[in-house]
Structure 1
Amino acid sequence: MLNKPIEVFEFPTNLGLRRKVDEVEPGVKALPKWLKYHGFYEALGIDTVYGLPAPFYSMEYNLKTGMLNENQVIEFAERQALLLGKHLRTDTFKLLIGGDCSILIGAALALKKKGSYGLFFVDGHTDFITPSLSKTGGIAGMDLAIAAGLGEEAITNIDGLKPYVQEDHIFCVGNREFDRSYIAPILDSKIHYFDLNRARSMGAAKIVDAFLKMVEEKFLDGFFIHLDVDVINDELMPVVDSRAEDGFTYEELAPLLQPLLHHSMCIGMEITILDPSLDENGVYTKRFIDFFLSLLEE
C-alpha cells in the first residue's frame, strides 16, 4: 500500500457529459457507490470519506459559449475546491472519484490555491479543445484546456486564478483520437504530449522520468494524476461514454502509474468516466479494482 493514509473524495457529477438519445442521463455519477459496493473502499482500508451530493443533471446549453451546463459545472468546481482546500495536507493521499472528467476543474482550482503543481494527465483523449471543436459541448471533453486556461474566462479564471495549471507543467499521455483538427490545439501548446503510439515507442520509464525531472526543475510543490479509464484498451474497459479501438493494456498502464503513485510528491489522483450503468454485472469494474490495488503494491 501507499506510505501515507488515503482519503477519498466523492465527486459524483455527470454535468460534463451530454445525454445520449437512449439515456435518461449519463450513469457515471454512480461510480463512488459502485466502487464501494464492489469492495474498493474496504480493500483500500478507507476510514475517511468526504464528498459532495450529485448535482441535478440538465441539458442546459449556453448558445453564447457553446458549452453544456456551464454554470452548474462552475458551481460544482467551486464547491469541490472549497472542500478539497480544507484537506489538502501533504501527509495524506487524496483519491478523487468521479463522475466525469469535469471534476479536474475543481481539483486544479484547489491545487492552484495551495501552490504550484504538475499534472500527469492519462486519458484516451486530449480533452484540450474549445467549444468550437466540440461535437457535444460537454465540458468533460474540454477539462484539460480549461485547467490550462484555454477557453471562456468564466470557467478558466475562477477567482482570478487562471491558469490553474501551467501548460509546461502538464504531461498528457494516451490520446488515441488522431484527427488533425482535434489534436491541433495541444500541438500548438507547451504541454508535453504523448499520444498512444508515441507513449508506446518511448516507453513508460522514460516518460515518468521526464515528468519527475520537470517537477524537480520547476520547483513544483507536488503533482496530481488524472486517470480517465477510457485510456484503457476498449476490450478491457468498454463501459465508458466515448469508446475507441485500442488503448493501453493494464500491463502497459501499470509502469506509467505505479512509480508516480508511490512518489513522495504525488498529492493525489482522480478516477473518472467508468459508467456503472454499462457494467451490469460489474465484470469490468472488478478487473479495474484488482488492477488499481496491484498498483499500490511496492
Structure 2
Amino acid sequence: MKDICIVEFTSNLGLKEPHPGKEPGVNRLPDWLWRHNLHKSIKAKNIIRVDPPRYSSIKDPETNILNADSLVTYAREQAYLINNLISADKFPFILGGDCSILLGTAMALKQKGNYGLFYLDGHTDYMDISLSETGGVGGMIASIVTGNGADKLTNILNLSPYIKEENLWCVGNREYDEEYENEIRKSKATYLSLQKLRTQGIKNAVQSFLLEVESKKLDGFWLHIDVDVLNDLIMPCVDSRTPDGLSYDEFNELTSYLFQSQKLTGLEITILDPDLDETGQYTKDFVAAITSTFNKNFNS
C-alpha cells in the first residue's frame, strides 16, 4: 500500500465573495478538518501545506476571471509538489480549498502520463466563461483542465489539455438547467447526473468507469470530491446550495469502490466552508464517513 501524504491547499481563489469585502471561508478548511480529527484518522506519513497568493475580488481584464494570475502562480507550485509525490509513489490526500485546486494537480498528472478524472460534484463545473456571472474558476474548472477556455489557464507550461476530455467522468450534478447541462453534454466527457447515477446504479456506474480506466490503459485516475455532492440536508455548508444530493449511504458505497482500486492515484476534498458550520456537526459527520470508508477500503 502506498504511503499517504496529506496535502493542504488553502485556496479560495476560485470563488466569488459571499458578501462584499468578505473572502470565502473555504481556505480555512484544512485547519477545520484537523480540529475535527481527520488528520488523526487518516494514517498519513506526513502533512504538507502550500498557501496561495492573496485573494482578490477583481476580475482579470484579459480573461474576465477572478484571480487568474494568482491561480497560475499557485498551480505551478501545486504541480511541482504533486509531481514529486507521485514520482515517489506517495498517495496525495488533498484538502482544499475550493475546486480550483484541481488546476495544479491536473498539470502534474499530465506531466506524469495519461490519467482519468472522476469528478464527483453536485455541479458539473463545466461552464464556459461566457455563462459565468461570477468569473470564479471553481464553477468552470472541469472544463478548464480538459483544455477549454483562456490559454492563460488551460495551457500553463504548454501542457494543454491536462486531462483528455474523453477521460473525464462528471458525476452527481443535480443542477438540471438545460443551458448549464448542454455544456457537458456536447463534450466528449462521460456525464452521469444524479438522476442517471441512481437509474444506472452506483455499483454499475463505478464499475463502468474502472473498466474504462483499464481498457484505455490509463496510468491511473484522480478523484475529485466536492462535498456539495451530498444531500443539502446533511451538507448545507457550501457556497452553492441545491436541493437533493447523495445520502451518506450512497456516498460511502460509491467512494468505497473507488478507494479499492489500485489505479486511484490521489484525491481531493473541496468546498466545505467552516463559516457555514457553526456547531461543527456537519463536519463531524463528514469526517466520520470519509475516514471510515477510506481506511476500510483504500487499495484493499
TM-score, length basis structure 2: 0.96
Q: Do the aligned partners of 2:231 and 2:246 also contact (CA within 8 Å) in 1?
A: yes
> What do residues 247-277 of structure 1 show as CA deviations (whole Å, max 9, x unaligned)?
1111111221111112111011000000011
SS of equivalent residue, structure 2 residue 221: strand
From the superposition, tell whether residues 155 and 22 of structure 1 become closer, same or farther in structure 2 (CA, over 3 Å): closer
The corresponding residue for 1:259 is 257
List gaps (5 residues or longer) in structure 1.
Answer: none
Q: How far is 1:91 from its partner? A: 3.7
| One-letter amino acid matched to 2:122 | G
Cα shift readout 1:131-161 (whole Å, capped 9, x = no counterpart):
1011211001010000000101110011111
Give me the CA root mean square deviation: 1.2
| Counterpart in the other structure of 2:85 | 87
Offset of 1:53 from its aligned partner? Answer: 1.8
CA distance in 1, matches of 2:158, 2:95: 26
Residue number in structure 1 paired with 2:6: 8
* CA displacement 1:259-296 (0-9 Å, x = unmatched): 11121110110000000111122110000000002212
Mapping 1:200-279, distance limit 5 Å: 200-279=198-277
SS state at 1:87 partner: helix
Q: 41-50 vs 97-106, which deviates more?
A: 41-50
SS at match of 2:48: strand
Is contact 1:124-1:247 (8 Å) kept?
yes
Over residues 17-67 of structure 1, what are the superposed CA-to-partner deviations in whole Å (9 max), with x where a residue is unaligned?
Answer: 000226621000001111111111111132301121243111121233221
Pair 184,90 (structure 1): closer, same or farther in 2 beyond 3 Å: farther
Task: Describe the SS at the equivalent of 1:49.
Answer: strand
- Equivalents in 1 of 2:266, 2:45: separation in Å? 16
- Give the distance between the partners of 1:159 and 1:175, measured in 2 at CA: 31
Q: Note the 1:149-188 alignment, pairs <5 A.
A: 149-188=147-186
Checking the alignment, whether the CA contact within 8 Å between 2:85 and 2:91 is kept in structure 1 is no
In 2, the alpha carbon distance for the partners of 1:254 and 1:89 equals 29
What code does the residue aligned with 1:207 have? Answer: A
User: 2: distance between equivalents of 1:62 and 1:178?
Assistant: 29
CA 1:200–1:176: 2 relative to 1, 3 Å: same
Question: 1:282, 1:30 → 2: CA distance?
Answer: 13
Percent identical among aligned pairs is 44
- 1:21, 1:33 → 2: CA distance? 22
Q: Does 1:121 align with 2:119?
A: yes
1:213 offset after TM fit, Å?
A: 1.1
Write the letter of the residue equivalent to 1:100.
D
Q: How far apart, in 1, do the equivalents of 2:45 and 2:214 lie?
A: 32
CA distance in 2, matches of 1:45, 1:173: 28
Letter in 2 for 1:111: L
Matched, 1:71 2:94: no
**Maintained 8 Å contact 1:31/1:97:** yes
Structure 1 residue 87 displacement after superposition? 1.3
Runs of 4+ in 1 over 4 A off after TM superposition: none
- Give distance in 1, aligned partners of 2:6 and 2:113: 21
